[in-house]
């Protein structure tokens, strides 16, 4: 309760559903009759019910709680039961499959897990067909409850989610952020927080390499702010930018071959591209003395969205990666005092998230690329630096809504939010990793 | 100062004693051809006068030195004083130009000085953008100093964005204090107060 002061509404509903047995889980307008969604492609607005049977053996309760929580945090599934009370299962341990009971509990899918010496074996029951739809072994490798084990288990959740909804989950991801001048990473479920940098200078603005194995960030020292790349496994650090000036907001190209960032010495800030192999630095934007920063790649790697103050107040623009065809994306009227900054292009390419100044406070806002529909997603506190999850649906962002500045997760479809980090002072500049680790290949 | 205060009454007493001796001479006596100063103009008095003179000079020098120190401290304060900016602007306001005009002669008079100008922003605006804004503010200061004849390689610039506020707080008073450029000496010393 302390860790998650704002319970997603789905918990209460799922618990209620479990109590009332046949009550619909996501509200009266849910047209889905129980037990017909498995194997169908995911449709927005419908949430198949999933029941995770009790898991016996070492770390069985942890396995069950983690799977249930991952399904819950996906916001795509209605989890039956409460992952905070893994000992309270609505069906007895080791009971034979009871499809009428599963159907009464509103489960479309039932997950049955056995712990094996090398990991897990998972069977997925299709309640409508009253049969096992799929069984697969997942090696977990590392010691139970270690960060590596947890990440491997999250990858199992993501795979199971794709069995049910057709969409791979985002549990096996991490969020990087800045706190107290250091970069940290944390698993998507709020566990396994780890400091990545050593605390020299003020490290901020983390960005993931598409491999998930490196993080670029800026470090502010007395002589200026530099862009560094750190290898997460070895800790090796490489400086990419010039030793002086302001070098900020790094972003890797989707092919992982180039890094873009804002660089200013004495004539305003422009975005530059630096190849990670060999090759010279190249100027991308032509700001003519204005500030241009915060590049965010389109998933095809051909364009970037970025912040530019070339029209006065900072706004979100887009341009080809060679600097051609610059275009103002956010609405701008002459005399407009609004500011729209820090764009992030969704992995499906359809939307751009950014922060928009509304009555003196930044709010997380999205824009559809094709028809420029703008939607404001937050209105409590200061909400900044949105970063898309690999599913193009969830956003990590910093928010003061709980008092101090912390990282929160928003499901842009349902509006459900949860707090990811707690304590430790000003926590900001979230960057959502790509999917990490092979989703447990057999 | 204590030494001066003590020396003055001693000197005064000596002079009073001398004139008193002279006045006591009876008028009826013929004036001596030669005064008889031997009784009063002793080596001790000469030493005392010389000492007093030296002490007066030392006091003057001390006062001058104190004045120099005061003016030097004033010059250093003038030099270190931040310049302030409007919201989301790197334009030098009249007050900022005046402050820089007071710094430029000090840079000229102390040729060995190398400085760092750091630009800062208030807490509004995005954290990232504010680093660019701070850099622009520091660059505007540097450009102005260059236009006033200061060599570019004597002025290094950097930006701290909104990361090092001078004043904490979310109000106009705090914001105004935080939208600034600061001045730091990297090499050399400000010893010459110039013109």
Nearest Cα residue in chain A from B131: A246
pLDDT of residue A95: 79
Query: Is A293 within 8 Å of B128 when comparing Cβ atoms?
Result: yes
Can you give the pTM of this predicted structure? 0.84
d(CA A384, CA A396): 9
- Alpha-carbon distances, residue B127 vs A120, A325, A395, B122, B164 (angstroms): 45, 27, 19, 10, 12
Query: Is B128 within 8 Å of A245 when comparing Cβ atoms?
Result: no
Q: Dihedral of CA A78/A82/A87/A92: which sign? A: negative
Nearest CA distance, B113 vs chain A (angstrom): 17
Query: Is A307 within 8 Å of B126 when comparing Cβ atoms?
Result: yes
Q: Would you call B11 an interface residue with chain A, using a CB distance cutoff of 8 Å?
A: no
Q: Would you call B76 an interface residue with chain A, using a CB distance cutoff of 8 Å?
A: no
Shortest CA distance to A393 belongs to which of A373, A409, A374?
A409
pLDDT of residue A40: 40
pLDDT of residue A389: 98
Q: Would you call B134 an interface residue with chain A, using a CB distance cutoff of 8 Å?
A: yes
**Residue ranges for chain B with pLDDT beneath 50:** 1-5, 7-21
Q: Residue A258 has which token pair? A: 């180039």
A37: helix, coil or strand?
A: coil
Q: Please say whether the beta carbons of B190 and B113 come within 8 A.
A: yes
Interface with chain B: mutation pick from A216, A266, A397, highest number of B CBs within 10 Å: A266
Q: Would you call A363 an interface residue with chain B, using a CB distance cutoff of 8 Å?
A: no
**Alpha carbons within 13 A on the beta-carbon side of A381:** 14
Nearest CA distance, B102 vs chain A (angstrom): 23
Query: Is A220 within 8 Å of B128 when comparing Cβ atoms?
Result: no
Write out pLDDT tens, residues A217-233. 999 998 899 999 999 99
pLDDT of residue B4: 46
Q: Tell me how many degrees the CA angle B126-A185-A240 measures, rounded to the nearest 5.
A: 65
A394: helix, coil or strand?
A: strand
Nearest Cα residue in chain A from B143: A266
Residue with tokens 């509103």: A106
Shortest CA distance to A138 belongs to which of A81, A55, A209?
A55
pLDDT of residue A330: 86
**Residue ranges for chain A with pLDDT beneath 70:** 1-45, 86, 332-337, 437-442
Q: Which residues of A touch B131 (CB under 8 A)?
A: 220, 225, 246, 248
Query: Is A223 within 8 Å of B139 when comparing Cβ atoms?
Result: no
Nearest Cα residue in chain B from A291: B132
């Amino acid at each position: 309760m302390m860790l998650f002061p704002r319970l997603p509404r789905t918990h209460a509903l799922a618990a209620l559903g479990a109590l009332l047995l046949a009550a619909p889980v996501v509200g009266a307008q849910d047209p889905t009759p129980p037990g017909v969604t498995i194997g169908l492609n995911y449709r927005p607005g419908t949430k198949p019910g999933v029941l995770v049977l009790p898991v016996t053996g070492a770390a069985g309760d942890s396995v069950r709680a983690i799977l249930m929580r991952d399904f819950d945090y996906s916001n795509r599934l209605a989890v039956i039961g409460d992952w905070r009370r893994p000992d309270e299962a609505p069906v007895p341990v080791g009971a034979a499959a009871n499809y009428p009971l599963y159907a009464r509990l509103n489960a479309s899918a039932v997950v049955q897990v056995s712990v094996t010496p090398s990991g897990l074996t998972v069977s997925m029951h299709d309640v409508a067909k009253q049969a096992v739809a799929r069984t697969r072994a997942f090696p977990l490798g590392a010691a139970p409850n270690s960060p590596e084990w947890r990440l491997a288990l999250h990858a199992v959740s993501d795979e199971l989610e794709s069995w049910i909804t057709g969409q791979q989950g985002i549990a096996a991801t991490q969020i990087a952020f800045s706190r107290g001048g250091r970069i940290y990473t944390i698993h998507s479920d709020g566990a396994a927080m780890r400091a990545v940098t050593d605390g020299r200078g003020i490290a901020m603005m983390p960005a993931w390499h598409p491999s998930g194995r490196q993080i670029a960030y800026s470090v502010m020292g007395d002589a200026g702010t530099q862009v560094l790349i750190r290898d997460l496994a070895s800790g090796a650090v490489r400086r990419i930018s010039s030793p002086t000036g302001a070098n900020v907001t790094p972003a890797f190209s989707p092919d992982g071959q180039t890094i873009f960032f804002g660089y200013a010495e004495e004539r305003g800030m422009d975005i530059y591209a630096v190849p990670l192999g060999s090759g010279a630095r190249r100027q991308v934007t032509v700001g003519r003395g204005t500030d241009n920063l915060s590049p965010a790649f389109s998933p095809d790697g051909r364009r970037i969205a970025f912040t530019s103050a070339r029209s006065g107040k900072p706004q979100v623009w887009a341009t080809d990666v060679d600097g051609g065809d610059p275009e103002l994306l956010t609405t701008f009227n002459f005399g407009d005092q609004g500011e729209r900054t820090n764009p992030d292009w969704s992995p499906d390419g359809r939307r751009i998230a950014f922060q928009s100044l509304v009555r003196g406070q930044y709010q997380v806002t999205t824009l559809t690329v094709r028809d420029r529909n703008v939607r404001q997603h937050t209105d409590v506190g200061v909400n900044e630096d949105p970063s898309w999850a690999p599913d193009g649906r969830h956003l990590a962002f910093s928010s003061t809504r709980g008092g101090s500045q912390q990282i929160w997760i928003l499901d842009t479809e349902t509006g459900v939010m949860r707090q990811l980090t707690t304590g430790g002072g000003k926590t900001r500049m979230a960057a959502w990793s790509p999917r990490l680790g092979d989703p447990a290949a057999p | 100062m204590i030494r001066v205060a003590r020396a003055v009454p001693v000197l005064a007493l000596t002079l009073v004693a001398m004139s008193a001796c002279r006045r006591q001479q009876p008028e009826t006596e013929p004036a001596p051809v030669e005064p008889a100063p031997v009784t009063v103009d002793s080596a001790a008095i000469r030493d005392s006068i010389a000492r007093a003179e030296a002490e007066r000079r030392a006091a003057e020098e001390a006062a001058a030195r104190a004045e120099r120190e005061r003016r030097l401290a004033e010059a250093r304060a003038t030099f270190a004083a931040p310049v302030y900016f409007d919201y989301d602007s790197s334009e030098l306001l009249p007050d900022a130009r005046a402050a820089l005009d007071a710094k430029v002669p000090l840079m000229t008079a102390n040729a060995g000085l190398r400085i760092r100008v750091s630009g800062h922003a208030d807490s509004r605006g995005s954290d990232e953008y504010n680093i660019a804004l701070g850099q622009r503010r520091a660059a505007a200061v540097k450009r102005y100093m260059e236009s006033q004849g200061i060599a570019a390689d004597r002025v290094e610039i950097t930006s701290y964005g909104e990361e090092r506020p001078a004043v904490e707080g979310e109000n106009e008073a705090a914001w105004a204090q935080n939208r600034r450029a600061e001045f730091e000496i990297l090499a050399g010393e400000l010893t010459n107060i110039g013109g």
